[in-house]
């Protein structure tokens, strides 16, 4: 059998070689008119063609190496700068291109493939931008010979851009504070306890077949799901294998999923996201047998490990009960030991099929309990005998988990490295009665938390965002106008990332400012991620009692949906309504974080996921079937 296979493989190789020779012979027969009108030799024409091909194949690595982290809207200005021209002085026309800033410079210049300026060379330009479809068309012009009589070949190719739907942000709690926390008034802070299902209701779907479904959100809107995402419809779990734009102009997205539904109608109804899903057994077990891990530590395959950190509690359901585990690390493929997560590797270029978490079985502290939700016991710790109290995960349960089983974090209402009102000490639970005024919190808050990393060298920022402050700032769009680097907030934030305050650096690191920014009325509204370099005083922002965020036409939510990170101190005297998470770092002149008035923070996985996609690694893919020789 082996000899037959080897013989068949040899035949394939011979056929491939003959086809390749035929292509080369055909290519050598091509002659190209030079700029002087002369006819070039077949050899020079082939060299020009090969140069153009190298321009296409090297475009994606060159753009990544140049440091581009923006969007499809910005890429033409990044690649070729303002007023782009070919090397012969002719203008580059960009269909659908951006109006570039006068300071925009070329980052992907002409590339000489030999040591001679008249040898093989190639230049690549963006000639078309389709923002709605996240697609651009590039043209590579390969040349050889002197500029007055150069052999020239042109090739175009479509390139697709995508940002995977990762959570990206490991917010420890609904409200996280390095300084001590003082509360009062009618402030409310809610996290996510063990009763959460791990499902996030997202949109309504209509089933086109047993393997496809249509949803109204468009790819250009930044869907919080991608190839490899897990979804739930009608109680069944599916994995997304393909996303396809619907119609032109874009009106929605078609999802292709596996396994097939039993009936077409099964793919119709409420579509829920599963942000962190069990990816399936590994070698017959629910974990990787990694011998270098400590005894009792298990490496579990999950769809997205970017929102967890060491010390986190994770839950999973099986047989009607909730089971708990404690995260000790994260891993990527190729797996590393001890488990690490390096932002520089881009989470394996944004692949939702290659993430892992390292865990020990069972939880401790606040995550080991369930908390009351009724009026009489709201936020109160339930006894260990209550059926809602999580049990420690066992190996047998882990090995029996189905593919796509939802996993979720325990997210306290509040975590402070310092005290919370009168509660002090190390990892002390603070319940509703420990908060001043008529405040409500659930599940339990944690005072003196050792899980909040308040060390030096931007420790908390790195814990939350998996990157440095300077790296985050480099992702903040500055084009098109107005820039997302702000000096004040006076408009609804639009599902993007923003930086408020100074951008000054010292030795490459951001200098934390002592400036104070005051937001009143409805200034803090919209959706996204807002990082404040300084102190923040919140007044009557986004009143939860009925004030709208902006005009009814801008589609803004009531309040702010997303992540608010304050490098200085936070003081709230108004009624801000925030769905997502708030993180307060505190600067060198640390004062207590203060929440009075009617501030409401409600941790929302969907708000975090929708906002955090802007932090995902940018993926480029050559679109199949779009290669064309001009």
- Contact in structure between 462 and 448 (CB atoms under 8 Å): no
Alpha carbon distance 213, 210 (integer Å): 8
Question: Domain limits at 585?
Answer: 175-192+411-615
Residue 313 within a domain: yes
Residue-level pLDDT at 574: 72
Residue 622 within a domain: no
Q: Same domain, yes or no, for 81 and 7? A: no
- pLDDT at 573 exceeding the cut of 90: no
Q: Is 12 exposed, middle or buried (0-12, 13-18, 19+ CB in 10 A)?
A: exposed
- Which letter does DSSP use for residue 145 in this model? S
Q: Same domain, yes or no, for 108 and 158? A: yes
Question: Which SS3 state, helix, strand or coil, does residue 183 take?
Answer: strand
Residue-level pLDDT at 542: 53
- Contact in structure between 559 and 580 (CB atoms under 8 Å): no
Residue 620 within a domain: no
Residue 279 within a domain: no
Which tens digit of pLDDT belongs to each residue from 494-518?
778 899 999 999 999 999 999 999 8
| Of 89 and 577, the one with more pLDDT | 89
Residue 282 within a domain: no
- pLDDT at 290 exceeding the cut of 90: no
Confidence of residue 194 (pLDDT cuts 50, 70, 90): confident
- DSSP letters, 487-506, are SS--S-EEEEEEEEE---EE
Report phi then psi at 542, rounded to 5. 50, 50
Residue-level pLDDT at 492: 72
- pLDDT at 546 exceeding the cut of 90: no
Alpha carbon distance 88, 34 (integer Å): 12
Alpha carbon distance 53, 50 (integer Å): 5
- pLDDT at 22 exceeding the cut of 80: no
Q: Same domain, yes or no, for 443 and 384? A: no
Alpha carbon distance 398, 393 (integer Å): 7
Determine which of 141-155, 195-209, 222-236, 548-562 has the lowest per-residue pLDDT on average.
548-562
Please give the mean pLDDT across all residues of the chain: 81
Q: Is 514 exposed, middle or buried (0-12, 13-18, 19+ CB in 10 A)?
A: middle
Q: Same domain, yes or no, for 102 and 83? A: yes
Q: Same domain, yes or no, for 111 and 75? A: yes
The neighbouring-strand residues paired with 189 are 441, 601
Q: How far apart are the first and last CA of the chain?
A: 46
Q: Same domain, yes or no, for 364 and 473? A: no
Q: Is 173 exposed, middle or buried (0-12, 13-18, 19+ CB in 10 A)?
A: buried
Tokens representing residue 610 in the block = 């929708």
Q: Same domain, yes or no, for 206 and 142? A: no
Q: Same domain, yes or no, for 422 and 501? A: yes
Q: Same domain, yes or no, for 420 and 500? A: yes
Residue-level pLDDT at 557: 55
Q: Is 149 exposed, middle or buried (0-12, 13-18, 19+ CB in 10 A)?
A: middle
| Of 562 and 432, the one with more pLDDT | 562
Q: Same domain, yes or no, for 115 and 15? A: no
Report phi then psi at 264, rounded to 5. -60, -35
**Where a domain ends, among 220, 242, 274?**
274
Confidence of residue 226 (pLDDT cuts 50, 70, 90): confident
Instruction: Provide the number of structural domains found in the chain.
Output: 5
Q: What percent helix, strand, coil does the chain show, rounded to 5?
A: 20, 35, 50
Residue 531 within a domain: yes
Residue 170 within a domain: no
- pLDDT at 621 exceeding the cut of 90: no
- Contact in structure between 421 and 371 (CB atoms under 8 Å): no
Residue 428 within a domain: yes
Q: Same domain, yes or no, for 564 and 605? A: yes
- Which letter does DSSP use for residue 333 in this model? S
Confidence of residue 38 (pLDDT cuts 50, 70, 90): very low
Q: Same domain, yes or no, for 235 and 325? A: no
Determine which of 84-98, 263-277, 411-425 has the lowest per-residue pLDDT on average.
263-277
| Of 374 and 334, the one with more pLDDT | 374
């Amino acid at each position: 059998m082996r000899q037959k296979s080897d013989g068949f493989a040899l035949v394939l190789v011979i056929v491939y070689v003959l086809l390749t020779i035929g292509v080369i012979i055909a290519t050598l027969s091509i002659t190209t008119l030079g700029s002087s009108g002369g006819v070039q030799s077949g050899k020079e024409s082939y060299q020009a063609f090969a140069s153009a091909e190298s321009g296409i194949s090297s475009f994606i690595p060159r753009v990544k190496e140049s440091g581009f982290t923006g969007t499809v809207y910005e890429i033409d200005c990044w690649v070729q700068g303002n007023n782009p021209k070919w090397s012969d002085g002719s203008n580059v026309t960009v269909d659908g291109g951006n109006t570039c800033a006068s300071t925009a410079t070329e980052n992907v210049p002409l590339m000489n493939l030999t040591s001679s300026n008249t040898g093989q060379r190639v230049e690549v330009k963006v000639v078309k931008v389709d923002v709605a479809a996240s697609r651009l068309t590039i043209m590579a012009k390969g040349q050889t010979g002197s500029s007055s009589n150069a052999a020239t070949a042109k090739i175009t190719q479509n390139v697709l851009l995508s940002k995977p739907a990762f959570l990206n942000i490991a917010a420890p709690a609904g409200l996280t504070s390095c300084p001590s926390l003082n509360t009062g008034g009618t402030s409310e802070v809610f996290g996510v306890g063990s009763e959460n299902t791990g499902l996030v209701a997202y949109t309504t779907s209509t089933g086109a077949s047993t393997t496809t479904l249509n949803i109204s959100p468009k790819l250009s809107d930044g869907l919080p799901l991608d190839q490899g995402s897990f979804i739930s419809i009608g109680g069944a779990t599916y994995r997304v294998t393909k996303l396809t734009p619907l119609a032109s102009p874009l009106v929605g997205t078609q999802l292709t999923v596996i396994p097939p539904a039993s009936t077409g109608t099964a793919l119709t109804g409420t579509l829920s996201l599963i942000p962190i899903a069990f990816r399936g057994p590994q070698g017959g077990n629910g974990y990787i047998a990694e011998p270098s891990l400590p005894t009792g530590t298990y490496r579990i395959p999950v769809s997205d490990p970017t929102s967890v950190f060491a010390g986190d509690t994770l839950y999973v359901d099986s047989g009607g009960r909730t089971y708990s585990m404690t995260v000790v690390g994260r891993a990527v493929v190729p797996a590393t030991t001890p488990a690490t997560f390096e932002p520089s590797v881009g989470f394996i270029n944004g692949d939702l099929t290659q993430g892992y978490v390292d865990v020990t079985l069972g939880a401790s502290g606040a995550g080991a309990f369930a908390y009351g939700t009724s009026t009489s016991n709201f936020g109160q710790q339930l006894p260990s005998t209550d059926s809602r109290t999580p049990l420690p995960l066992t190996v047998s349960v882990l090995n029996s988990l189905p593919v796509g089983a939802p996993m979720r974090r325990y997210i306290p209402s509040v975590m402070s490295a310092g005290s919370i009102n009168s509660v002090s000490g190390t990892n002390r639970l603070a319940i509703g009665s420990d908060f001043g005024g008529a405040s409500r919190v659930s599940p339990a808050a944690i005072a003196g938390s050792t899980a909040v990393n308040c060390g030096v060298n931007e420790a908390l920022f790195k814990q939350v965002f998996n990157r440095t402050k300077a790296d985050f700032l480099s992702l903040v769009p500055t084009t098109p106008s107005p820039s997302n680097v702000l000096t004040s907030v006076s408009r609804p934030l639009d599902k993007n990332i923003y930086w408020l305050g100074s951008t000054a650096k010292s030795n490459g690191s951001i200098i934390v400012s002592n400036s104070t920014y005051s937001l009143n009325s409805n200034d803090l509204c919209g959706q996204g991620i807002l990082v404040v370099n300084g102190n923040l005083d919140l007044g009557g922002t986004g009143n939860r009692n009925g004030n709208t965020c902006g005009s009814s036409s801008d589609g803004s939510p009531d309040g702010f949906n997303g992540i608010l990170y304050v490098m200085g101190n936070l003081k709230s005297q108004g009624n801000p309504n925030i769905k997502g998470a708030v993180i307060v770092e505190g600067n060198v002149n640390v004062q207590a974080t203060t929440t009075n008035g009617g501030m409401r923070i409600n941790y929302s996985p969907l708000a975090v996921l929708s906002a955090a996609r802007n932090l995902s690694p940018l993926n480029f893919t050559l679109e199949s079937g779009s290669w064309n020789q001009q």
